[in-house]
Every structure is written in C-alpha cells, then in structure tokens.
Chains A and B, each alone.
Chain A
Amino acid sequence: MDWVNALAQGALLGGFYALLAAGLSLMFGVMRIVNLAHGLLAVAGAYVGVVVVEDAGLPLWVALVVAPLVLAGFGYLLQRGFLNRAVDLGGLVPVLVTFGVAVILTNLLQEWFTADSQSLRSGSFGTASVQLADGLSIGLLPAVTGLAGVLVVAALQWFLARTRSGRAMRAASDDPEVARLMGINEKHVYALATAIALATVGLAGVFLGMRTQFTPGYGDLVLIFAFEAVIIGGLGSLWGTLLGGLVLGVTQSLGSQIDPAYGFLIGHLVFLAVLAVRPAGLLPKVAVA
C-alpha cells in the first residue's frame, strides 16, 4: 500500500509540475523563447500571494486570482517592451534577455521581501486530507494543485485549437511572415501568449507558496523541474508537458519511497535516460535540430 500511496502522491505532484511547466512549454511552442526567468516568475507569483494574503489579509482565493492577473500584465509588457525585439534579433538574444530579467527580478524580490524564507499560510486547506484506504490518503491541497495542472493544460490546448486568438498563435508560430500577410499582428499575438503563459505561472506560484517555504533563490529549482517536465514530454507539446510532469512526479515519489534522499536524484536520472533514449521527448511536436 505504501507503493500505491507513493504512486498517487507522485501523480498529484506530477500535475503540479505540469502546472509549473505549462507556461514554459507555451512560450517555447509559440515563440521558440526559452524563458530562463520562468522559475523566478513562479516565485514572484508566490510573493504576490504573500502581499495579498499576509500583508493585505485577504483570503487565499483572492491570491489565486490576483497573482495570475499581475503576472499576465507583466508578461504582456515584457513581451511588447523587450522580448519581441529580442525575437527579431534571433539567436541567443531572447534567452539572454530572460536571463537578465531573472537576475534583476531576483534582486528586486530580495530588496522588497528579504532573502528569508517565507510561505503562504493555507490553514485547513493545506492540511486537510481524505483517507481513501488504509495507508492511502490524499491531501486536499495536493489534489487541488494536481487537478489545476491538468485543467490548465487542457484549457490551453483547447484555447490553441479552437479560439480565434489560439489560431493566430499557431499561425504566427508556424510562419510569422505569412501570419502578417494574413493580417495577424504577431507582436500583439506574442504578447498575448506570454501574458497567458505568465498567468499560469502566477497560479502555479501561489500553489507553490502554499506547499513549500520559498526564497527569491528558489526559482532555480522550479526552473529545473519545469524544464525537465517540458523536455521529457517533448518540446512544444502541451499534452507532452503534462505527461512529462507526471513522469517526473511519479519517479520522484517512487524514488523517495526507496530512500527519502533519492527522490530528486531518481527524477533527474529518469530525465537523463529520456534525453539519451528519446531526445525529442515522449510526445514530440517539433523536431529537435
């Protein structure tokens, strides 16, 4: 039963990783931007939660609404102001810009919130759990987080496939020049994509803040897990990112079952094994050059 429990916890953790990684996957899929500030932006989302919940004393659900909105606004301006120009310059420029954003934002967060670790008090929501069987209990917070990951990936997939803006994103992703000739303002479309990506990051950040202690430096770890989920699943594929998150979550959880110290290690090893055997990922969308 311990193993079943580990499997269930791992699957929920995987949903959380997919939530953390969805925005990274979307930005890469639409604009081929590798966003090195991704992890830090999740942490920034957690700090928005701190301001809303700890400083303003508002309920948690307000943070779950406000953090995505704040991050989305930031994402739109970031894309219009900097990243669109960086994409035009091509090559490594967008990566370097996101790296610069990460450095600046880390320092700003340290300035405003200190480097002490903090967390979001989630009260009974964070501790409640349901006993499903002897030795198998599911926490409410992990369940909601994992479900949010699945819902966000499904919603993004639906958005890209079915909506007007989603189609514009796919067109601009496929051939930006032809997209312009179809009357698509790709600068706006890209900014919209980044806004949506960062909204999901903001949501993930608030959940992150409820689940764990964080500092401004915590973004590095988030970035690594998000990258692993995206790469295991296959670049540019959102369902792949969900699958990658699940693989990562389950292997980490099962690894911890063997020995608590092995969880992260085994997750990384599985990531390396996927890279070695299927470098394009489990559900590849774009060919890896």
Chain B
Amino acid sequence: MSAHLEVNGLSKSFGSVVVADGLSFSVAPGEALGIVGPNGAGKSTLLSMITGVLAPDAGEVVLDGHDLTRSSAASRTKRGVARSFQVPRPFTDMTVFENVYAGAAFGGGLRGQAGYDAARSALERTGLIHLSNELAGSLRLLDRKRLELARALATGPRLLLLDEIAGGLSDSELPPLIELIAALKAEGITIVWIEHIVHALTAVTDRLLCLAGGHVLADGPAEEVLAHPDVVEVYLGSTVEMEEAS
C-alpha cells in the first residue's frame, strides 16, 4: 500500500541549532505511528513542518502522493491534516463551542447546520459538550487538552498529529483518552502521536519511531525500538518513564 504521509529528508536549523537533520519516514493509511525522543529532539518542530506553519530548510512533505512542501497551513488543514499542541492553545476569548466550530467551519468547510453538527459531535466525543458555552480561556488543563483534540477532530482530519496529548494527565484520566484515540484509529484516521508516556503509545500505535538530535534513531515495532542500543543510550538517565513500557 502506498504511504499516506511521506517525510523525505526534512531539515531545519535555527541558527546553529539543528532540530531536523534529513528526517525521513512514512506512515501508511490508517496506521498509528508513535514518536518518542528526549526533550529537544525536534519532535514538535517536525509536526510544525508537517502542518506547514514552519517551512523546512530542505526536504519535502508528501500527502497521498501530493507534494505539500509549498502549500499553506490552511490548505493542508483542508486536505485533512490536523494537530494538537503540547501546550494547549485555545482561542481564549471565544467559547469552547466557537473554538470547535472554527475547526468545522473553516477546516472542515462545513456551513450552517452541518458545521454546528460536526462541532457538537466533536464536543460529545471528547466529553466537553457540557462546557460548550464556557470561555475557552477559563478551562482547566485536562479540558484544554480535550479541546485541542475536539478542535482537531472538527476539521475532519484524515491525518491526526498529536503532541503529548496525554502529558500531565492523571492515571484515571488516561484510559478514556487512549480509548478515544484507539477509536479514531479504528475509523481509519492515520495517527502520528508524540508522547513521553510510552505505555499510552504502545496501547494504540502499530510502530514506534525514536528521534534524537534531529535524526531518526530507530523505526519499527515498539519492542525492537525500545530495546535498540542507541535508544537505550539516549534515554539512560533521562526523565522518560521507560519502566511503564513493560
């Protein structure tokens, strides 16, 4: 099967800091890829380049065989690319509903009632419907994380990029989130999920990719990647909760 997302030789530097150095990988349609790596490995920057808010210095981003490297972020959203942010970035002066409606109306291109229905459905799935009329700026962290997901879902994504959506959640908050992401995968949405909580990743993803220093250290089945000598080396002494992977 041909790849849904292909990242070919993506490079990016900020001054002398190299955040991506010839990154290449691909994701099949409906596949879920987990990305791990130490802080500063260039994981979030990678998502910014896939979504088009950050232009790479070199390399290309290909979706369904179309080279999107020069496409605007808005047009990529309309092609089905959506992301959540590690630190939630709601439109703080708008209500929760308006936040999600923006995703449905502009990203999903839905007008009138269809837009309202899509927004409502995304709010219901993420358990935010009862907060619809609250200002997004007043939400607590868990709900802000849910809003990130709801807003991304409302755009009608085919490729969902999650940036540490589980970070900071308690043990009781985690299972419903994992369940929801697994359900999205079951619906055929391709998922690329960056996370430090490895057991959350391995519960849903088909494959892991480890990034460090802007390089792909390892790419393959979870147990192989986690046992890879370079990956172990990178993680020794780091704060990542490797023990939870067992």
Contacts and interface: CB of A to CB of B under 8 A. Distances in A.
Bin the interface of chain A by size: 10 to 19
A83 B9 CA distance: 35
Interface in B43-78: 51-53, 72-74, 77-78
Contacts of A171: 91, 94, 102, 106
B102 A180 contact: no
Contacts of B108: 183
Interface stretch (A107-115, A162-170, A198-206): A162-170
A181 B51 contact: yes
Interface string A110-143: 0000000000000000000000000000000000
Contacts of B72: 180, 185
A179 B90 CA distance: 10
A265 B52 CA distance: 52
Contacts of A180: 52-53, 72-74, 77
B78 A183 contact: yes
A174 interface: yes
Nearest to A178: B89
Interface string A170-201: 11001101111111111000000000000000
B91 A184 contact: no
Contacts of B151: 182
A171 B90 CA distance: 9
A181 B124 CA distance: 22
Contacts of A164: 105, 111
B102 A185 contact: no
A175 B73 CA distance: 14
Contacts of A183: 74, 77-78, 103, 106-109, 155
Contact of B94 (A174, A177, A184): A174
Interface string A215-232: 000000000000000000
Contacts, number: 67
Interface residues of B, number: 28
Contacts of B83: 181
B102 A182 contact: yes
B79 to A, nearest CB: 10
B133 interface: no
Q: Which of A164, A178, A181, A184 has the most CB of B within 10 A?
A: A181
A180 B48 CA distance: 12
B73 A167 contact: no
Contacts of A185: 72, 74
A80 B102 CA distance: 23
B33 interface: no
Given A167-B101, A181-B53, A175 B89 contact: yes
A182 B106 contact: yes
B98 interface: yes
A24 B51 CA distance: 33
B92 interface: yes
B102 A175 contact: no
A183 B78 CA distance: 6
Contacts of B53: 177, 180-181
Contacts of A167: 94, 98, 101-102, 105
A184 B93 CA distance: 17
Chain A CB within 10 Å — which of B98, B106, B155 has the most? Answer: B106
15 contacts: A170-B91, A174-B91, A174-B94, A175-B91, A177-B73, A178-B85, A180-B73, A181-B51, A181-B53, A181-B77, A182-B102, A183-B77, A183-B78, A183-B106, A183-B109
The 3 closest A-B pairs by CB, nearest first: A183-B107, A180-B73, A183-B106
Given A174-B93, A182-B151, 11 more contacts: A164-B105, A167-B102, A167-B105, A170-B93, A170-B94, A171-B94, A174-B94, A177-B73, A180-B53, A182-B102, A184-B106
